[in-house]
Amino acid sequence: MNGQPAPQQPSNPNSGPLRVIGRIFRALFIILLLVVTARVASPQLETVWTAFETPSDVALMTLGFLVCLWLVIHLFTPPRDPDPYRTWFYLGLVLLPLGVICAIFIW
């Protein structure tokens, strides 16, 4: 109105499929980390109840539980700005196959 052009809104390249795929890759990677952490932190030769007899197994299970809790919190807390979805898209293409291989190897 005063002779100046109206500021244009920058186009958001992170909308649509890239955002959805980035969100899916992020969730799948965190779930893979959760599975691997739970498997590594579980007692190897004992049941959960007999693991309380050795202090090292208790420390391992406690640390594994806290890491799993932290991962679950991050699983349900989405990033606030749209840029991380693009990063998760590109990282997911590389990290998801490596995570699956790691999970299969550890299991």
Q: What pLDDT digit, counting tens, does each position of 8-54 carry? A: 555 555 568 888 898 999 999 999 999 999 988 887 766 767 777 77
Which two tokens mark 8?
């244009």
| Tokens read off for 25 | 């890759």
pLDDT at 12 (0 to 100)? 56
pLDDT digits (tens, 9 = 90+) for 66-101: 999 999 999 999 888 878 888 889 999 998 999 899
Q: Is 52 helix (H, G, I), strand (E, B) or coil?
A: helix
The answer to whether residue 1 scores a pLDDT higher than 60 is no
pLDDT of the residue at 78: 86
Residue 83 tokens read as 């840029």
pLDDT score of 69: 96
Cα gap 65→26, rounded to integer Å: 21
Q: How far is CA 61 from CA 37, 54, 56, 65, 68, in A?
A: 10, 11, 9, 6, 10
